[in-house]
Amino acid sequence: MKQIVFLFLSLLVLSTAALGSGHGPVFGFATPVNSQGEWSFDFTLAGRNSAAGNQVTGRGIVGYGFTPHFMLSVSAPVLLSNASLPPTRLQSGDDFESNVAWRFHHNASKVGTRFESTAFGGLVVPGPQTGSGLIGGLARAPGFNGGVVTGIASRSNYVWLGGAYTRFLERAGDRRPDVFSYSLVYGYRPPSWRKEPQFWDWRLFGELTGERSGQVQASGLSIAGSAAHQVFIGPSALGIKRNYAVEFGVQLPVYRNVGPLLPKERVRFVVNVSYFLFQHEHQDSH
């Protein structure tokens, strides 16, 4: 009974993975949240490749906007292919996650242009599937995270800068590494794509993301050679048509400082499909 209550509370509390799904970039952080009364349903397929093998994760995400500036989302993963890889919070893994996002700053400087900031905090709960290798063999416990993202969005250009920190609890002397994640995203919507009507409304993004993780703790001891810091860059695209959105992107590493106990990643990819359900007349907040 205690486990059921804990899982229920976990899903109702707070992670970062779903923050941009269906509304912005697929790798980095962004400020958009669901409109008031809007439900969003996402399915994400995310992959990572290294010399140690491939990890592919499917993830379902459900989000709801309580106000134009406050939303809740929950997500659940299915690990389709597993490999021993450095820790990540920007790519889908094997944890259940929930997310509360609050757009605490919103300044529409002129028609079609806004400067805004969103804060988020979350709880990450171990799922029934486990990873492999050094980290997969640890006794797993929940973790907490929090972060903030700020930027400017207009009808033609988008710029977002954000960061988040995740810390895991200890269990039986084991603890997964803390992870600091950060991103810088630029988006562009060409003039020819802004004309009405459009069959699909497309945006292009250039995304730079980085993740720095500390050492693994096993049986109360820090394991040397288990820390990592990787930076990736690559393009992505977002297309929206009425209640539907499609996103996809790929990233390649530009910096890899990985301990000898973990492999270096060679490529990341994400494909995301979204459906939006509006309970009343939609007012665009994306």
Helix (H, G, I), strand (E, B) or coil at 262: coil
**pLDDT tens-digit readout, 95-130:** 999 989 999 999 887 777 899 999 999 999 998 887
How many folded domains does the chain comprise?
1
242 pLDDT band (50/70/90 cuts)?
confident
Is 30:185 a contact under the CB 8 Å cutoff? yes
The overall pTM is greater than 0.95: no
In a domain, 253, yes or no: yes
Query: Residue 20's domain is classified under what CATH number?
Result: 2.40.160.40
For residue 8, pLDDT over 70 is answered with: no
In a domain, 284, yes or no: no
In a domain, 220, yes or no: yes
Which residue range(s) make up the domain with 51?
Answer: 2-278
In a domain, 285, yes or no: no
Range list of β-strands (E), the chain? 38-50, 53-67, 70-81, 95-110, 113-126, 143-153, 157-168, 179-188, 201-213, 217-218, 221-222, 228-241, 244-258, 265-278
CA distance 108 to 168: 38
Query: What pLDDT is attached to residue 281?
Result: 52
Mention every residue, 6+ apart, whose C-beta is less than 8 A from residue 155: 112, 113, 189, 194
Percent of the chain surpassing pLDDT 70: 88
Query: What pLDDT is attached to residue 4?
Result: 38
CA distance 270 to 286: 21
In a domain, 283, yes or no: no
Query: What pLDDT is attached to residue 179?
Result: 97
